């Protein structure tokens, strides 16, 4: 049975981890995740992605039993591959929303950090407990978490290995929205559909400018913004939006341009969609 499922609902695809009981990351799940993410990245039809682990939990991290059997050289390669796969999730051109239920620990939280927006359950438990095993996060926890909540709060979480609940996570900016546990996927899909109805080229450019511009100096970031602005200004969606604003006022445009002009043809997801 596949450990990753792609469930399609119009322009929104839910990428669901399906490796019970804890959705722990092993090599097989990572490979399936990488293959699915590459298919989504090439799609002209997918306009938003929801990351989801199911009703009970998001993901409890890496398969520690498998890691314990590895030597330093083997674990280096394993970690490099997982870092690369998570980076591919973060670099998906369309908006990505994480629907976080139950536990998101270690690699599970690191995967959620790759999303652009995180919806969490009221009873969620989030954390990077690696230090309690004498190790450290290795798939983005020291980098994406620090960029999201700041270095001091990141060091506190990573050095103590403590977990946080929904209220604290919302307060420090670790999650963006908290809803009832049975409404997480619904709320995440509703937000994803809202974004999917927007101008796809502009959304992709905004994501690129914020994510990549933030890793550079202000002058380089502004140059990237200027270049992307010029590219977006020439799209069909820009023509539609400007014309609608002038004729009907703000907020009435309907954007029908391709998800990514010039993207590859959408890959067949038959057999993955339920």
Give me the active site residues, please: 110, 130
Tokens of 203: 């959304």
CA atoms within 13 A on the CB side of 264: 10
User: In whole angstroms, what is the distance from residue 177 CA to residue 131 CA?
Assistant: 28
- Cis peptide preceding 106, ω within 30 of 0: no
Show the DSSP H helices in the chain as ranges. Answer: 27-42, 64-68, 72-90, 107-112, 144-149, 151-160, 166-172, 184-196, 200-213, 218-233, 236-248
Cα 75 versus chain centre, distance: 24
User: In whole angstroms, what is the distance from residue 175 CA to residue 153 CA?
Assistant: 14
**b/e code 5-29 from CB counts within 10 Å (16+ = b):** bbbeeebbbbbbbebeebbbbeeeb
- Hey, which residues does 163 pair with through a beta bridge? 127
User: In whole angstroms, what is the distance from residue 193 CA to residue 195 CA?
Assistant: 5
- Positions of E strands within 26-69: 48-52
């Amino acid at each position: 049975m596949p450990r990753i499922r792609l469930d399609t609902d119009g322009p929104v695809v839910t990428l669901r981890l399906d490796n019970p009981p804890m959705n722990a990351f092993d090599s097989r799940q990572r490979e399936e995740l990488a293959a699915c993410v590459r298919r989504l990245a090439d799609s002209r039809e997918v306009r938003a992605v929801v990351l989801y682990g199911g009703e009970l939990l998001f993901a409890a991290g890496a398969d520690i039993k498998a890691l314990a059997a590895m030597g330093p050289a083997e674990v280096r390669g394993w970690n490099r591959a997982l870092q690369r796969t998570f980076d591919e999730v973060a670099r998906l051109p369309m908006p990505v929303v994480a629907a976080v239920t139950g536990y998101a620990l270690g690699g599970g939280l690191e995967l959620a950090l790759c999303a652009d927006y995180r919806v969490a359950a009221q009873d969620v438990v989030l954390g990077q407990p690696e230090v309690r095993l004498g190790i450290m996060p290795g798939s983005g926890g020291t980098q994406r978490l620090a960029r999201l909540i700041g270095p001091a709060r990141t060091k506190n979480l990573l050095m103590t290995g403590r977990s946080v609940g929904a209220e604290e996570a919302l307060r420090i900016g670790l999650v963006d929205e908290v809803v009832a546990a049975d409404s997480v996927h619904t709320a995440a899909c509703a937000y994803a559909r809202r974004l999917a109805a927007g101008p796809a080229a502009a959304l992709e450019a905004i994501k690129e400018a914020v994510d990549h511009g933030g890793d550079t100096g202000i002058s380089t970031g502004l140059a990237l913004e200027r270049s992307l602005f010029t590219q977006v200004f020439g799209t069909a969606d820009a023509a539609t939006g400007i014309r609608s604003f002038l004729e009907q006022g703000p907020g009435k445009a309907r954007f029908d341009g391709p998800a990514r002009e010039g993207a590859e043809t959408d890959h067949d997801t038959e057999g993955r969609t339920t």
